C-alpha cells in the first residue's frame, strides 16, 4: 500500500516522539535535517537530492518535532535540547552508531549542536545556509518565522528563498500554503518563533568555544544571494571550524539544494565519499 503523500514515509518513536522519516539507499548513513519554513517537511526540503545521495549512501531524512508529519505533543517545548534528543533518539532507534550529518538553516544549527554534544555519533558534517552563530535577524527570516497562513503571505515569503524567481511560482506557493494549513501545522509553527524573533536566532547559536573545538571534517555551503540567512554566518563558521571548507554558490538564495540540486548532491556526495576511501 502506498501513501497518498510522498511526504509520509516511515514512522518510529525517537526519544518519545513519533517521527516520520525517509530511509532510502544503502551504505554508510547520512542524516538530512530540514529547515524551519512554514509547511516544511523533510521531503519538501530534500526531494531533489535524496535520490542522488541514495546512490552511494543510506539517506535518513526525518521530520523534526513540530514539523511535517512527526508528532506535535501537547505542551511540548520546541527547543534545541529536545530536537537534539529526538535526532539522537532516531539514530538509537535505527541502531545507527555514527552518521554523516547534513543540516539546512535551522537544521544546520541542530546539526552543529548535535555534533558538539555527541561528537562520537557524527562522522562528517555539512552545514548549508546554517544558523548556529550570532547574527542580526534578517527581514527575510523575520518574515518567514512570522508567517500567518494565506496564499498571498506564502507567495511573498517564497520570494525571499530563491534567487531564481522562476522557481517561485504560484503552483509552489499554493502547495506550501496548503501544507501550512494542515491540522496542527500552524499551531505548532506559531508556537516556535513568537515575536520578538531575534531571541530565537540567539537561542540557536552554539557557544563559540564549542564550535572551535569541533574536529570533524566539515563542508559549509551557502548561497551568495541568501536573503534569509546572511552569508556572514558561513564565513564565521568557516573561521571557527579548523577542518572546514566553504563553498559559495553565486546566483543562489537560501535554497542551494533546490536551485543547484545536481551540483549540491555532487558536492556533498564527493565530500562524504572521501571518508570511505
Q: Which are the catalytic amino acids?
A: 105, 226, 254
Do 91 and 31 contact (CB within 8 A), yes or no? Answer: yes
Helix (H, G, I), strand (E, B) or coil at 33: strand
Helix (H, G, I), strand (E, B) or coil at 9: coil
Helix (H, G, I), strand (E, B) or coil at 149: coil
How far is it, in rounded angstroms, from Cα 153 to Cα 150?
A: 5
Q: Which helix (H) or strand (E) holds 92?
A: helix 80-93
Do 22 and 76 contact (CB within 8 A), yes or no? Answer: no
> Residue written as cell 541514495?
54
Do 41 and 104 contact (CB within 8 A), yes or no? Answer: no
Q: How many CB atoms lie within 10 A of CB 170?
A: 12
| Cis geometry, peptide bond prior to residue 196 (ω within 30 degrees of 0) | yes
Q: How many CB atoms lie within 10 A of CB 1?
A: 2
Residue 136 DSSP label: P
Question: How would you classify residue 33: left for phi > 0, otherwise alpha for psi between -120 and 50, otherwise beta?
Answer: beta
How far is it, in rounded angstroms, from Cα 38 to Cα 15?
A: 24
Amino acid at each position: 500500500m502506498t501513501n497518498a503523500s510522498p511526504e509520509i514515509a516511515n514512522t518510529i518513536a525517537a526519544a518519545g516522539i513519533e517521527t516520520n522519516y525517509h530511509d532510502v539507499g544503502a551504505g554508510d548513513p547520512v542524516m538530512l535535517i530540514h529547515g524551519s519554513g512554514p509547511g516544511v517537511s523533510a521531503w519538501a526540503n530534500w526531494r531533489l537530492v535524496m535520490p542522488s545521495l541514495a546512490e552511494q549512501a543510506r539517506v535518513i531524512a526525518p521530520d523534526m518535532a513540530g514539523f511535517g508529519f512527526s508528532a506535535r505533543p501537547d505542551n511540548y517545548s520546541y527547543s534545541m535540547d529536545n530536537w537534539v534528543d529526538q535526532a539522537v533518539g532516531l539514530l538509537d532507534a535505527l541502531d545507527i552508531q555514527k552518521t554523516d550529518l547534513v543540516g539546512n538553516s535551522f537544521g544546520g544549527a541542530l546539526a552543529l549542536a548535535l555534533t558538539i554534544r555527541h561528537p562520537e555519533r557524527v562522522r562528517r558534517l555539512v552545514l548549508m545556509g546554517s544558523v548556529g552563530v550570532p547574527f542580526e535577524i534578517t527581514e527575510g527570516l523575520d518574515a518567514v518565522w512570522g508567517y500567518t497562513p494565506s496564499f498571498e503571505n506564502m507567495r511573498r515569503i517564497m520570494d525571499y528563498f530563491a534567487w531564481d524567481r522562476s522557481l517561485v511560482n504560484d503552483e509552489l506557493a499554493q502547495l506550501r500554503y496548503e501544507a501550512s494549513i494542515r491540522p496542527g501545522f500552524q499551531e505548532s509553527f506559531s508556537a516556535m518563533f513568537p515575536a520578538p524573533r531575534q531571541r530565537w536566532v540567539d537561542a540557536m547559536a552554539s557557544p563559540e568555544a564549542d564550535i572551535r573545538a569541533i574536529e570533524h571534517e566539515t563542508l559549509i555551503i551557502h548561497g551568495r544571494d541568501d536573503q534569509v540567512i546572511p552569508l556572514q554566518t558561513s564565513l564565521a563558521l568557516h573561521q571557527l571550524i579548523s577542518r572546514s571548507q566553504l563553498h559559495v554558490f553565486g546566483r543562489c538564495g537560501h535554497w542551494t539544494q533546490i536551485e543547484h540540486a545536481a551540483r549540491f548532491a555532487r558536492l556533498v556526495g564527493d565530500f562524504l565519499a572521501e571518508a570511505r576511501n
